[in-house]
Chains A and B, each alone.
Chain A
Amino acid sequence: GAVVSQHPSRVICKSGTSVKIECRSLDFQATTMFWYRQFPKQSLMLMATSNEGSKATYEQGVEKDKFLINHASLTLSTLTVTSAHPEDSSFYICSALFDGQETQYFGPGTRLLVL
């Protein structure tokens, strides 16, 4: 069964609003979580890496003030898209690396549509 969940699975919002996406690890403690973005017909692009209790590390070109990441516990990381605009419409996917494991497990993704 799934070991990583995301909520919501789909969200539609107006331009200028903020949207929070949750990523939860189920039954396991995730030492590190990753956030990816995928535009239509493109591959996944890593946005940031977050470790529990510390600041996220953002990839080049990703605005940390626009994409706020909070990894407050070993089972929850949140991504907040602040002041969303239509160009932020995308498929946002998280993954988790569990303590003692070698493999990242991915969530089902959240499809964001900004009108």
Chain B
Amino acid sequence: DAKTTQPPSMDCAEGRAANLPCNHSTISGNEYVYWYRQIHSQGPQYIIHGLKNNETNEMASLIITEDRKSSTLILPHATLRDTAVYYCIVRVGPKSNFGNEKLTFGTGTRLTIIP
């Protein structure tokens, strides 16, 4: 799976949009971009994933550049409960190869929402 690079930490004011960048310059054509977050002392929580089109759900939006070498997770109106470590993970497409469903976690971005 391709490696990802994320800033170690970010701050964002409560109520503002939080934009979390991720570089994945070695991503290959069949690899998806997944985002998870981990609130302190809890298991990771799935946020969103995408292949090449921008995606939006009730939690966030995912913007993937046209060359797919980077992406941005957007939390539109950050709240204090969004304080967490956010992980950007690249992996092969779902069900493309048996045994490749595993996720490899990097160090992520520690997002702190400031009141």
Dominant SS among interface residues on chain B: loop
At the interface with chain A, which of B21-29, B39-47, B58-66, B67-75?
A: B39-47
Chain B residue nearest to A105 (CB atoms) is B46
- Is there an interface contact between B102 and A109, defined as CB atoms closer than 8 Å? no
What residues on B are CB-neighbors of A6 within 8 Å?
43
- Is there an interface contact between A109 and B94, defined as CB atoms closer than 8 Å? no
Given contacts A43-B107, A102-B94, A103-B49, contact A49 B102 (CB under 8 A): yes
Given contacts A43-B106, A46-B102, A49-B99, contact A102 B49 (CB under 8 A): yes
- Is there an interface contact between A109 and B46, defined as CB atoms closer than 8 Å? no
What residues on B are CB-neighbors of A105 within 8 Å?
46
A101 to B34, CA, bound (A): 14
B95 within 8 A of A: yes
Number of interface residues of A (CB under 8 A): 25
A 28-64 contacts with B by CB, 8 A: 32, 34, 36, 43-46, 49, 57
A105 to B43, CA, bound (A): 9
Dominant SS among interface residues on chain A: strand
Chain A residue nearest to B87 (CB atoms) is A43
- Is there an interface contact between B42 and A109, defined as CB atoms closer than 8 Å? yes
What residues on A are CB-neighbors of B44 within 8 Å?
44, 93, 95, 106
A81 within 8 A of B: no
A 64-115 contacts with B by CB, 8 A: 91, 93, 95, 97, 101-109, 111
User: Which chain B residues have a beta carbon within 8 Å of chain A's beta carbons?
Assistant: 34, 36, 38, 41-46, 49, 87, 94-95, 99, 101-108
